[in-house]
Structure 1
Amino acid sequence: MEFICHPAGAANRSTVVLRGKAAAPGTCGELVQGTIKGEPYLISCPIDLWSEVEVEIRESAEIRDGLGKSCQAAKLVMEYLGLPATPVTIKRVSALPESKGMASSTADIAATCQATARAFNQELPPEVIAAIAAKIEPSDGQMYPGITISNHLTGEPRRYLGEAPPLELVVADPGGKVDTVLFNCRQDLASKNFQKEPMVRQAIELVTRGILTEDWEMMGRGATISAQANQVLLPKPHLAQWRQWAADFKALGVLVAHSGTVMGMIMRPDGVAVEEAAAYIRSKRPDWVIWHTSMVSGGLR
């Protein structure tokens, strides 16, 4: 997909003078998401599905507003670098479905930020990219290296936990869409988050200890607790069945998109093959979209 961020027709008359590229991973929902004492906490779960962005800086008139989140990101990067707003063409190739809770928008925004900076021979640190992304919409933390706890409303990093575990995931999308911006504007969001805080606190402790000690079973238990806690906020009608299948496969745990539709299953390295588990679930629910992928460390490439 291509976005032209300048007045209509200018692309045909302008010359590309600079070019930058970057790629950002998506996520399989989150290992944990919620609040502690009202403060947002999110533990990212980057996966091996990417948004690849190429930014071309052109000679032409001023940039035009309102042409998408990626265009907003490019403009904000130019402002951060102290550069005048310059026309750009943004080309994106993404393996991430939209409005499913797989951080497709965050991946697009993050990759656009770094690609724009690279076009000007600069490199942005992850905290700057996260802050820019948060100005556009609530964002996941996959721009940070490894697995990181962050504030998804401000982009502020809270704690680096370590590199991603070498684990594979079965991912299911039963259907539907969730608008992240509208979700985070819900009138009952604060009260529902407060209601699930005790479980979120336990989930954060287990996932943090699990990653720091490479105890993937502990990490999986924490992710499962967070998934279950989120039922008070955005219920997954099929979560009970998903957890039962995870138990049948002796999986490490499950996770969900806390503001999306997808569910994930964290497979044991020495257990049921991820392809076998995906095929079984696909046979039971042919109306779902089922695929498999692996966890990866966050950070842009």
Structure 2
Amino acid sequence: MLTDADNRPARTVSGVCHGTLGELYQGPLDARDRPEIAIVSFPVDRHSWVYFTPDAGAPTGTENLGAKAAKAARLFLDHYGLEPPPGRWNTYSDLDVGVGMASSTADIVATLRCLFRVFSLPYDSRVVIGVLSAIERADSVFLQEYALYLSGRHRVVHRLGTGIAFHTAFVAEPGTVDTAGVTPQLLRQYRRCAAEYERCLTDLLKGFAGGDPAAVARASTVSATLSQEVLPKQTFDAVLARREEFGADGVFVAHTGSLVGLLFARRPAPAVKGEVSAFFHSLGHQCSFAQGGYA
């Protein structure tokens, strides 16, 4: 293994990226003229980690990275005209795959952040966006704040700050969703319900501007309800019906995933957590609790 001058083992470097609990909003930016999918991702305090340890005797490949992360590494190296370094890659993630937690995007961003550190290069979000755009429609997890984001064009429309946070209880229903396959359905829905989406997005942006988590939660509930018309969740109606009883401020979903959950502006008491957990158990699911947002 490579060593520093004082013969200590070469230092492992890492890249870390948070995932999401779906979206607080997914809908059109403007439904009247060629709508596109706009999202406000809901960040969660769960992450993807990528580690690199220099080792002169190790191969220069990326065997331990997933397919998309390995492609991101190749694009990064090509962009900067660099050769892959000899060493060992390792990964870890506590993001579920295929449910709407942006696991693959987080893997890509964590890999790129690790590479910036490996080569002591300044972090450049433009490079990150360029790599993402060559691989997949993505969430805005490369940012450290909320944003209204055009996921297909990889464009930040509005930065929304870090002042909103929620406690959440959520479940992941079985199955996965092919985002590309349902895009035509989504765009038809956007045109059909243009006025509702416009009001929802306006209310959401006002909530962020005013630092009002209850207003953001109400708009999230509207967005989730609209999503039911295209990609329904089996448990959504039951969750929505019990929201007020549990003292939750709103409901969220992974619009093209399988997550359904409750938003609490204040930490729910242990007794409430017990009631919520029992409720989800009665629906056949084990719920999880996690902090969402940045504040």
Per the normalisation by structure 1, the TM-score is: 0.82
Which runs of structure 2 are paired with 1:121-136 in the superposition (5 Å)? Answer: 121-136=120-135
Is 1:158 aligned to residue 157 of structure 2?
yes
Task: Look up the SS of the partner of 1:258 in the other structure.
Answer: coil
Q: Hey, what's the Cα distance between the residues in 2 that align with 1:17 and 1:187?
A: 50
Amino acid across the alignment from 2:18:
P
Task: Look up the SS of the partner of 2:190 in the other structure.
Answer: helix
Which among 192, 195, 198 is matched to residue 195 of structure 1? 192
CA contact (8 A) 2:246 2:276 kept: no
Which among 24, 45, 52 is matched to residue 55 of structure 1? 52
CA distance 1:82–1:214, shift in 2 (3 Å): same
Task: Look up the SS of the partner of 2:165 in the other structure.
Answer: coil
Which runs of structure 2 are paired with 1:1-301 in the superposition (5 Å)? Answer: 19-37=12-30, 38-56=35-53, 68-85=67-84, 89-180=88-179, 182-183=180-181, 186-269=183-266, 273=270, 275-285=273-283, 287-297=284-294
Amino acid across the alignment from 2:274:
E
Q: Hey, what's the Cα distance between the residues in 1 that align with 2:114 and 2:126?
A: 16
CA contact (8 A) 2:165 2:294 kept: no
Q: Hey, what's the Cα distance between the residues in 2 that align with 1:132 and 1:296?
A: 25
CA RMSD of aligned residues (A): 2.7
CA distance 1:246–1:265, shift in 2 (3 Å): same
Amino acid across the alignment from 2:214:
E
Which is worse superposed, 98-107 or 85-94? 85-94
Query: How many residue pairs were aligned?
Result: 280
Cα displacement (A) at 1:120: 0.4
Q: Hey, what's the Cα distance between the residues in 2 that align with 1:215 and 1:31?
A: 14
Q: Hey, what's the Cα distance between the residues in 2 that align with 1:99 and 1:176?
A: 8
CA distance 1:87–1:245, shift in 2 (3 Å): farther
Per the normalisation by structure 2, the TM-score is: 0.84
Which is worse superposed, 241-250 or 187-196? 187-196
Cα displacement (A) at 1:281: 2.2
Q: Hey, what's the Cα distance between the residues in 2 that align with 1:244 and 1:199?
A: 21
Q: Hey, what's the Cα distance between the residues in 1 that align with 2:87 and 2:78?
A: 14
CA contact (8 A) 1:250 1:268 kept: no
CA contact (8 A) 2:167 2:267 kept: no
Q: Hey, what's the Cα distance between the residues in 2 that align with 1:208 and 1:104?
A: 26
Which is worse superposed, 86-95 or 206-215? 86-95
Task: Look up the SS of the partner of 2:206 in the other structure.
Answer: helix
CA distance 1:48–1:114, shift in 2 (3 Å): same
Q: Hey, what's the Cα distance between the residues in 2 that align with 1:267 and 1:137?
A: 32
Task: Look up the SS of the partner of 2:293 in the other structure.
Answer: coil
Task: Look up the SS of the partner of 1:289 in the other structure.
Answer: coil
CA distance 1:31–1:86, shift in 2 (3 Å): same
Residues 275-301 of structure 1, C-alpha deviation per residue, up to 9 Å, x if partnerless? 33442323422x213101011339xxx
CA contact (8 A) 1:127 1:157 kept: no
